[in-house]
Structure 1
Amino acid sequence: MALYDWEGEFISLLRNDSGRPEGLEVFLQAQRSFGEISGETILGDVAFLVIGNIVLFVYVQLMLGKFNMVETRPVLSLLGLLATFMAVGVSFGLCSAFGIAYGPVHSILPLLMLGLGVDDMFVIVQCWQNLSQEERRLELKKRMGCALRHAGVAITVTSLTDFAAFTIGASTVLPALRSFCIYSALGVVALYMLQATFFVAWFALDQSRLEDNRNGLFWCYKHKNWTPNKCSEYDLCQMFFDKIYSKYLLKKPVKALALLVTAVVFGTSIWGVTNLRQEFNPVWFIPQSSYLFQFLSRAQTFYPEAGERGTVYLGALNYSEELPKIGYLTQSMRENEYISFVDSWYDLMIDYTNSSTGEDITGQSLNESFFRMALSEFLYSPSGSRFQNYFHFEGNLTAMEPVPPIVASKFDYSHRSLDGPGEQIPAMDQTKELVQNANFSDFAAPIAMMYSSWETDKIIAFELVRNLSLALVAVFVMTLILIANIMSSIYVLLCVLLTLVDVMALMTWWDLTIDTVSCINLVLCIGLCVDYSVHIALHFMQVKGTRDERVQRTVKEMGPAVINGAFSTFLAFILLANSDSHVFESFFKIFFGVFIYGVFHGLVFLPVLLSLIGPAPYDLDLHALPEVIEVEKRSKDVVVIEGRTYSQVHNVRSNSSYE
């Protein structure tokens, strides 16, 4: 604690430039710098998240409700967002209880839950708004059942697909990705349960409040003789998809253009993916405006020859007999093309013993007692005293007495300046191989601070391909089981694959690399973009008519939910564009691509594809409900007053479908 406080004073003193000569710049780092700057960055990004959530709340309120005192839904909007944060709490709580590690990348999980949760909210509300006139005449609980008959299937398909994708991702050997996928999988399950119960229950209460003409914010106040103003009854988003988008999208020139754009973008993206670099550097996690980043960048600029420093640790060897192995290892490391310097106590001990005793012990095994005494004299000599801390003995080291048995020792080395994973990975592997080939009798290993990053670079490309491939297989299997149509499942998989390739190409052009953060974001990419396509494919299977008629109705009824869910997710992270954090900056760039390409493939490419070669609908007409048939048998002209149903004309011939 005293050292930590001292470092704080040290940093504060050197960063204070008052009284400093003009033109003199000071760059510094301390042991506490990484943790301190990371904490400041997280706190700074919390402000962006809070503002983003406020913007998201306003948008959700505008889309769920209408501009009048009764049909506005601020309380429901707030409770819907609360459900997403409750899901995050469940995920964090359960994972923490089971000791699953939490890392810096996990801070984007609330944004993921917001994206998925808001999407489910819009789907439920949109299915409520899509109820037919006959279904609207039912009592509230039956109307809610009609809405959930469609919305429940949609959110179940997307939630189980997301859960499967994250569960597959949890099988990776990368600890950060595995931990995040476990958190995400539990979060998806909790979110599904909360949206299907907590949100739906509040939605039913809010709808009961609305039908009783009670104020949208103050539920206890009832408006008498209330009628909505005409302006508030216009749903511009619904009108756009109904009157404009669904009609123009199905014109032959527009279809041809949509397919052409998709093919050109995909072909260009394949070229972009081939140029995607693989590199992971922990320095990127430090904000560029921080003093630590400036120190590290200046060090690299002014001392480019200074490479990564490392240490070889040796265990409880038989040092007197294995001394030649240590000499062979140090010589081999000096001759390696990737190592610029070796600072070994062995070489200086050889020189000291030769000068003090006249005996050259190079490459020789020594008598145990002679070795212990020679080492003791060396460690108390001017050239060897600095190596006392390089040994760990069973007892205390005493001058003029043989050293106690050695428990462990070490020596240092430095790599030359290495250019990217193409040199870093071979340098690390060759160093480890040299130590292994020395064939010591006990523990022996080289360790450097950046080796963990280089190990990540070594396996991350394979892990990325593996995880994305398995996640795509999981998406196909789950959609096939839940949608129960192989062609629809193939189309959904195609949309997800196209989006994934386009996003990876965007990473190339936006100067992102394959690292732990981008791997996590690409798995999330699958989880989000599958939602956009599944809603369209599933609804297309549930309606009847010609292909064009089914597409037109699908886009009209599900288009608003898809675009609102996607745009609300975009609003949640739009402010992260100004973040100094590599985690949030990567998240913004990748999810911007998910928003653009995912919406394009879900609302443009997939409807066009379905209009051309879409599968036949389900045999069961989900829109014809027994309760509706009974209502039509009893009455054709029904009046609803303050939520109560009054019949005026009886015994009218039934119609089995409202289509």
Structure 2
Amino acid sequence: MTSWNDKAGNVIREVLSLLTGGVLLVFVYLFGRINCVEQRIRLSLAGIIMVGMSIAFSFRLSSAVGLEYGPLHSILPFFLLGIGVDNMFVVVGSYKRLSHSELSLPLNQRIGKLLRPAGVYVLVTSVTDILVFGVGGTTIMVVVITLGLLGLNIWGLYSLKQDYKENWFSPTDSYAYEFNEMKDKYFPKRGALGGVYCKNIDYLNSKTKFETLYNRTINNQYIATGSVDSWFKSYTDWLETNPAATAGKVTNNYPNTEADFADLLQTFLNNETNGKRHLREVVFQNNSGILDITTTYVSYQHKIFDTVAEEIVAMDAMVELVRGIFPETECSPYSRKYLEWEANKVIKRE
């Protein structure tokens, strides 16, 4: 994970440096000549600030009408900057063409002289765009071509296959890329490891829920056979087969109180061979001499999937399975791979 973060950070820094350099070049161009008389620093700053304000307004307006922000939107400001800079070039060019007599006019007249040719340019391009789209929407030949392209796009979307590999986003000369290539070659991949993490639960009265969770998970078609490992099942099996160790604290092979549940569980985890392997799956907290269980998890492993679509379905299946037993505030399934799968789910939806 650290290698991936380092690699992604390096790529982002390289791209940001290029983008920053591009913005600086635009600023320098608009700045004008580097002297105290002909410099236009306020003009260039105002132009870039106006583009930034336009970007901020468009994002806020989109949010106000309910449009969600997605990963691809992060590159849109740079497209908007390019579009905005185009009109800024026109204004600067118009300023350069002002004569000495025009430059000596009062401010309001100078602005009129400056914007007269620039306004015509903006008006002409706007009208041209309207006419082009209007003709394109009413001309038969264009409609035929558009329908043909639409059909090709529909066919292309139908045939589109979504997939993801971590190394696709890695520079081929990076050590992380070479490591992943060797890992895939000599150590074939296995299914994603995951767990159902729980907190703030009345464990004493949740026996039926944990039994249901175990049975449904082992029968889930997206979970590898024999991969489900439940501390709760191991614990209750031990309670049933060790009456001497639990004497006085159980009724019908189950703890009488929450305190008995926690004390016997700690004994099972610390002293029994089968319990020691579950030690890291249960977190205790001692509050004024009263032992309490704070967090637990039940581990599982997914099968190996060939496509992104299968991964998304498998993740959603586990989420629905757990939601059908526990409230979201008590238990949730999690895997480090779910971060990747959830991102693919968002991309597929968009």
Q: TM-score, normalised by structure 2?
A: 0.65
Whether the 8 Å CA contact 1:128–1:147 is kept in 2: the answer is no
- Aligned mate of 2:315, from 428, 442, 446: 428
Residues 93/375 of structure 1: CA separation in 2 closer, same or farther (3 Å cut): same
RMSD across aligned positions (CA) = 5.0
Whether the 8 Å CA contact 1:281–1:453 is kept in 2: the answer is no
Partner of 2:133: none
Q: Map Cα deviations across residues 1-39 of structure 1 (whole Å, 9 max, x no partner).
A: xxxxxxxxxxxxxxxxxxxxxxxxxxxxxx533332222
State whether structure 2 residue 233 is matched by structure 1 residue 347: yes
- Aligned mate of 2:293, from 387, 406, 423: 406
Secondary structure of the structure 1 residue equivalent to 2:190: coil
Q: Map Cα deviations across residues 237-257 of structure 1 (whole Å, 9 max, x no partner).
A: xxxxxxxxxxxxxxxxxx999
- Aligned mate of 1:379, from 240, 263, 269: 269
d(CA) in 2 for partners of 1:38, 1:324: 45
d(CA) in 2 for partners of 1:283, 1:397: 51
State whether structure 2 residue 332 is matched by structure 1 residue 448: no
- Aligned mate of 2:83, from 92, 102, 116: 116
d(CA) in 1 for partners of 2:322, 2:341: 18
What amino acid maps onto 1:342 in structure 2? V
Secondary structure of the structure 2 residue equivalent to 1:337: coil
Secondary structure of the structure 2 residue equivalent to 1:404: strand
Q: CA deviation at 1:433?
A: 2.2
- Aligned mate of 1:319, from 203, 208, 219: 203
d(CA) in 1 for partners of 2:242, 2:85: 79
Secondary structure of the structure 1 residue equivalent to 2:88: helix
- Aligned mate of 1:367, from 243, 246, 256: 256
Specify every segment of 5 or more residues in structure 1 that has no aligned partner in the other structure, as ranges.
Answer: 1-30, 131-137, 159-254, 465-659
Q: Map Cα deviations across residues 144-172 of structure 1 (whole Å, 9 max, x no partner).
A: 342244345579999xxxxxxxxxxxxxx
Partner of 2:285: 394
Q: CA deviation at 1:306?
A: 1.1
Q: Map Cα deviations across residues 473-517 of structure 1 (whole Å, 9 max, x no partner).
A: xxxxxxxxxxxxxxxxxxxxxxxxxxxxxxxxxxxxxxxxxxxxx
d(CA) in 2 for partners of 1:151, 1:441: 58
Q: TM-score, normalised by structure 1?
A: 0.38
d(CA) in 1 for partners of 2:186, 2:343: 28
Residues 148/53 of structure 1: CA separation in 2 closer, same or farther (3 Å cut): closer
Whether the 8 Å CA contact 2:194–2:299 is kept in 1: the answer is yes
State whether structure 2 residue 7 is matched by structure 1 residue 37: yes
Q: CA deviation at 1:310?
A: 1.3
Whether the 8 Å CA contact 2:94–2:115 is kept in 1: the answer is no
Residues 258/337 of structure 1: CA separation in 2 closer, same or farther (3 Å cut): closer
Whether the 8 Å CA contact 2:162–2:309 is kept in 1: the answer is no
Residues 323/308 of structure 1: CA separation in 2 closer, same or farther (3 Å cut): same
Q: CA deviation at 1:107?
A: 6.5
Partner of 2:156: 272
d(CA) in 2 for partners of 1:427, 1:147: 61
Aligned length: 308
State whether structure 2 residue 114 is matched by structure 1 residue 144: yes
Residues 393/441 of structure 1: CA separation in 2 closer, same or farther (3 Å cut): farther
d(CA) in 1 for partners of 2:310, 2:51: 41
Partner of 2:100: none
What amino acid maps onto 1:451 in structure 2? Y
Q: Which has the higher contact order (CA 8 A, sep 6+)?
A: 1
Aligned ranges for residues 119-130 of structure 1 at < 5 Å?
119-124=86-91
What amino acid maps onto 2:297 in structure 1? K
Tell which deviates more after alignment, 102-111 or 372-381. 102-111
Secondary structure of the structure 1 residue equivalent to 2:291: coil
d(CA) in 1 for partners of 2:79, 2:193: 39
Q: CA deviation at 1:423?
A: 1.2
Report sequence identity in percent: 29
Q: Map Cα deviations across residues 380-438 of structure 1 (whole Å, 9 max, x no partner).
A: 0333234333223331799xxxx812232112111111233321222112212222233
Specify every segment of 5 or more residues in structure 2 that has no aligned partner in the other structure, as ranges.
Answer: 64-68, 98-104, 129-138
